[in-house]
Structure 1
Amino acid sequence: MSKMSGEKASQLAINLIEEQLQILPISIAMIWQPADAGNVEESVLAEVLQRKPRLLKTGSGGNIAASYAAVDPEWDFHASTQALYSNPLQKNRYLRVVISNVLLTVGSYFKENNMAAMRTPEVQFLGHVCNAILNENTFDIEPGYLPIATFDGLVIDNKLNGTLLFGDGVTEGFMEFGDAIALLQWLSRFLRGEKNFVSGGDAG
């Protein structure tokens, strides 16, 4: 990603977070009350999941790449919905994956634009949350100096090693899904305030 001003990076981060927050309620509702999600017609799936036209590659390397890139015909809404119905704990796992993906998207943007280096406790908190997500939803914090990482009473420290980030329906986790949404909303408000502060300073 090309370098950009701090104000522009903040605005793009705000846009990214707000877009994720706009879509999340639909995703959560579809998982919690799947209704007819498993009855989607195959033709609709084919239309939604269509691929870009491309030139066929030749040679052994091209054949291998093409075979790896082929869409698995077993990948469909029906199997996923059936799994959701057959095991109530799957709802928790599906929600965890969806919400974790949003956190990872925002965390990746922060890291890419050097925003993750901010010592703001909530930004440090997001970084540790993302690391836990990538470590199979489990905290693994390296020993040594740990910048303050807190959010609304939740504190991340070395004592959390081995603790689940989000509960799995059996074992309680460090955070609830609502905490993740609140963190995203806080980050959006924080960045908006930072952006306004920078703009005000420039104006003066």
Structure 2
Amino acid sequence: MGVAGTINDIVILYDGYVYALVSNVGNSATGSDDTFYNFHDCKVYSRGALLKIAGTDYGFEVEDILGWTNSMRTINSVGNPQNAAGSSIGSLEAYIPALKENNQKFYGPRRFVAIKPKELAIADCGANFVLPNKTTGKSGKLFAHNRVVNVNLYNFAIDSIVDLENIKFSNVCLSGNSMYISADYCTDTNVTEE
């Protein structure tokens, strides 16, 4: 399994390993621009990884990868909603952790915010989506995730996560700076993340 995206931060620890944060947030499979421009029937990415890199006689090699979402999941609209231009809002191919996986995966790691012996604290910022539901009248929404992820280096695993309510590490947004995905007959903005 490989990773693709932008290297956001690198640290060398006393254990001899290099640790690198890779983030892939937006519409591109390889970049990270933090804006979702076209979310109708397309691919979206909000994922990242912590790479554990070892020095070798010939350079460096990735020894382990933590928190990467490699598989795609489909996020569907309900009831065939249409946007203001009359286009159908169908589904998204999302390379984003499912809500039930969010304690094992990254949404888009940004920076190392604390370094302790055998523990790293990482600023993680990304998004998840819910598409409009014409049956219930609910709009779609982008849910921004801003959190600090603590990684235990003894077992190279996510140890704990602290969600931050009023702090942003990056301005993840839909084009037009709205957090909602509008559709005809979908005016209820009381949307919950799935």
Work out which structure has the larger RCO, using CA pairs closer than 8 Å and 6 or more positions apart in sequence: 1
Fold equivalence (TM over 0.5): no
Structure with higher Rg: it is 1
| Bigger fraction of residues in helix | 1
Tell me the TM-score normalized by structure 2: 0.22
